[in-house]
DNA sequence: CTGAATCCCATTAGATACTG
DNA sequence: CAGTATCTAATGGGATTCAG
């Protein structure tokens, strides 16, 4: 992702540069895994750290941690801790702000699925020649 | 952006790994400036290279070129060249695929504007204390 | 179990110069 | 005008280590 980019946008906002709405919006989504994380939360409900680790194939703990923290900073998700004895379990959930993204994320996902089908059809057609 | 990420997704698709719809979708949008580029095309119609250069504050020619080419590769926009004598002018336009993104981009932008207003209100409130 | 800190290398962005 | 080529500096990701 782009911590640098996010920080740049945050600085701009703090300096009263309101002319960066689009950059702001992009900064909310930049990060390879954020859409996946949100998708999981939308479809499977609140989940813990290890659930994401298992389901986001190939993601490292560091990157996952970064992405989750950025989403928390942006108030799109929040975290709760539970203890079983000394063992900590966590649960990440969508905030109200995060929930307001659901229609967009669903639309984005639908678009991606349809587009992927198109791409695959073209590929198949070409290989059938 | 992430040429690396895009290439990874493309490789996966070529290897028959269809289990990366979300990654595919994200790869379409990854890139700080793509949303801005599309936003310009949606609102201001077809534009040339220098128009983007002027309006995407701080973007370098190299990065702009990359972003435009990725969008072309993904068949979201296409390019036409015109010559006035030996001087080349270009025009980038949305394809049908690109146009299918308009509702999503508009929704994304609306969301971003509203969210930014919220953020600003909170900031103002805090500074008024 | 969750997650922060560190080290190191791959990738990307920016500046500059050059071409058709 | 619209890029491409090249070089360098800044960033980001992965692996490992450590801690609550």
Q: Give residue-wise pLDDT tens across range B18-35.
A: 667 888 888 887 788 999
Q: Please indicate if any CB of chain B lies within 8 Å of the CB of A10.
A: no
> Has residue B77 been placed in a domain?
yes
- Find out whether B110 and A25 touch, Cβ atoms under 8 Å: no
In a domain, A39, yes or no: yes
Full-model pTM? 0.90
pLDDT for B18: 61
- Tell me the CATH number at A82: 1.10.10.10
Would you place residue A19 in the very low, low, confident or very high pLDDT band (cuts 50, 70, 90)? low
Confidence of residue B2 (pLDDT cuts 50, 70, 90): low
Domain that holds residue B96: 31-128
Q: How far apart are CA B89 and CA A8, in angstroms?
A: 33
In a domain, B1, yes or no: no
Of B2, B32, B111, nearest to A100 by CB-CB distance is B111
**Tens-place pLDDT, residues B65-112:** 999 999 999 999 999 999 988 899 999 999 999 999 999 999 999 999
The whole-number pLDDT of residue B129 equals 79
Contacts of A1 in chain B (CB under 8 A): none
pLDDT of residue B1 exceeding 60, the answer is no
- Closest CB to B32: pick one of A13, A30, A118: A30
DSSP B46: S
Exposed e or buried b per residue across A28-53, where buried means at least 16 C-beta atoms within 10 angstroms of its C-beta? bbbbbbbbbbbbbbbeeebbbbeebe
Instruction: Please provide the average confidence, as pLDDT, over all residues in chain A.
Output: 89
CB-count exposure of residue B2 (10 Å: 0-12, 13-18, 19+): middle
Domain count along chain A: 1
Q: Are B65 and B59 in contact (CB under 8 A)?
A: no
* Residue B10 counted as domain residue: no
Q: How far is CA A127 from CA A19, B20, B73, in A?
A: 47, 21, 19
**Looking at beta carbons, which residues of chain A come within 8 Å of B120?**
13, 18
CA–C1' nearest nucleotide, residue A68: C3
Residue A103 domain flag: yes
In a domain, A25, yes or no: no
Compute the average pLDDT of residues B106-129.
88
Alpha carbon of B99: minimum distance to chain A alpha carbons (Å):
12
Question: Does the residue B71 lie in any domain?
Answer: yes
- Residue B20 located in a structural domain: no
pLDDT band at B55 (very low <50, low <70, confident <90, very high): very high
Q: A73-86: b or e for each residue (b if 16 or more CB lie within 10 Å)? A: ebebbeeeeeeeee
What is the tens place of the pLDDT at every residue in A68-124?
999 999 999 999 999 888 888 999 999 999 999 999 999 999 999 999 999 888 878
pLDDT computed for residue A18 by the predictor: 63
Whether the predicted pLDDT of A44 surpasses 80: yes
The answer to whether the beta carbon of residue B69 comes closer than 7 angstroms to any atom of strand D is yes
Query: Between residues 47 and 86 of chain A, which touch chain B (CB distance below 8 Å)?
Result: none
What does DSSP assign to residue A47?
B
Contact A101 B116 (CB under 8 A): no
Task: State what percent of residues in chain B have pLDDT above 70.
Answer: 95
Residue A128: predicted pLDDT: 85
pLDDT of residue A4: 82
What is each CA distance from B103 to A48, A101, A128, B116, B127, in whole angstroms?
33, 14, 34, 20, 36
Q: What percent of chain A has pLDDT over 90?
A: 56
CB A32 within 7 Å, strand C: no
Query: Within chain B, where are the H helices?
Result: 3-14, 21-29, 34-44, 49-55, 61-73, 96-99, 102-128
> Which chain B residues touch A2 with a CB distance below 8 Å?
32
Query: Number of residue pairs across A and B with CB atoms under 8 Å?
Result: 88
- Residue A32 is predicted with a pLDDT of 81
């Amino acid at each position: 992702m782009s911590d640098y980019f996010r920080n740049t946008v945050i600085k701009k906002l703090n300096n009263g540069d309101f002319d960066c709405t689009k950059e702001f919006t992009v900064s909310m989504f930049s990060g390879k895994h954020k859409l996946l994380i949100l998708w999981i939360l939308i479809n499977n409900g609140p989940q813990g750290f290890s659930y994401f680790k298992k389901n986001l194939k190939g993601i490292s703990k560091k990157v996952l941690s970064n992405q989750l923290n950025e989403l928390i900073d942006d108030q799109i998700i929040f975290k709760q801790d539970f203890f079983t004895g000394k063992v900590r379990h966590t649960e990440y959930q969508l905030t109200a702000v995060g929930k307001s993204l659901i229609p967009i994320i669903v639309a984005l996902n639908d678009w991606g699925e349809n587009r992927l089908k198109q791409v695959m059809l073209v590929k198949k057609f070409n290989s059938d020649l």
